[in-house]
Amino acid sequence: MTGLKQNKLIKLIFFGNHFYGLCAIALSIEGSLQQSYPIPSLLYFILAYSSTVLFYSKAYIMTEVSDDIANLRSMWYARNRSLMQATQIFFLIVLALSGGYFVIEHWANIMHLKIAEWLMICVFPIVSALYYGIDSKLIAINLRNIGWLKPFIIGFTWAGLANIYPPLFYCITHGLHFDLTLVGFFLFIKNFMFITILCIMFDIKDYAMDYNAQLKTVVVKLGLRRTIFYFIIPLCIIGLASFWIYAFARDFSNMKILINTLPFIMIITVAYTMHSRKSIFYYLMIIDGLMLFKAICGSIAMIYF
């Protein structure tokens, strides 16, 4: 593969949000294994991948339209707008067909779900929809415009995809009821915190633009240095300490503890580098790549240790 083709493929994977789809699959595998459920089926992976690409691409199709040479992603979307619109239609059809098949195939089990299960099914799509906003005569709300809330909304949605939906999907397909355990809740909070921190780190990229637009993100409110040293790193340390307490209480092996500790060490290390300007690919490959790294570490620890 030539360098030009490699560059086009890399941009398609990261700018086209397919990397997020891979992260959705990897985190779902980790979440299932950590809660002692089988690895999700192909149908679940199709649903997770399609919905993730659709969610992330929607914002960029709506906003990234200028051919600005100073912004690689903006320029890529301007030049590939037709491709991304076709991709959205494709994944929307895939999601509709696979979702329809799932509902038809397991209709009897779905109709016997408990109220708590329905709440877990509905809360994450509703929050995702409110993230992009509802604008009608009756109600107008857009959580994306609440700068400080954005990373928490995304972290909450990712945690649901990784820790709630895989075991819930398995239970529905096997005629079982899903009850969120204490372990499951702890893992949900762990993913929620981890991905929220990554989102805040990603907001550093847009610090100047958000500041000028008076969008009160966490970074704008606290400032760059205080966000890194008084918010991100302390939260990582608290998360790591919580995991160690949990791990020792459940008598994890030393190797299992070490492997699950690596993502925390990596996120703290990356946070220290954020004081200097980085390219868009640094944020997409390194910062967002920590989601994939965490999922791989967690899965390896469960399978082999």
**Interval 143-194: pLDDT, tens:** 777 777 888 999 999 999 999 999 999 999 999 999 999 889 999 999 999 9
pLDDT for 167 equals: 96
Asked whether 170 and 37 are in contact (CB, 8 A), the reply is: yes
Structure tokens at 285: 């490959």
Q: At 203, which amino acid appears?
A: D
| Cα angle 277, 13, 68; round to 5 | 50
Q: Which residues contact 144 (CB under 8 A, 6 or more apart)?
A: 59, 131, 132, 133, 150, 153
Kindly report the pTM of this predicted structure: 0.89
Q: At 273, which amino acid appears?
A: T
Structural domain span for residue 12? 3-304
DSSP class of residue 164 equals: I
Residue, of 213 and 217, whose pLDDT is higher: 217
pLDDT tens for residues 214-260?
Answer: 677 888 888 888 888 888 888 898 888 888 988 888 888 999 999 99
Output Rg (C-alpha) for the chain, integer angstroms.
20
Asked whether 142 and 135 are in contact (CB, 8 A), the reply is: yes
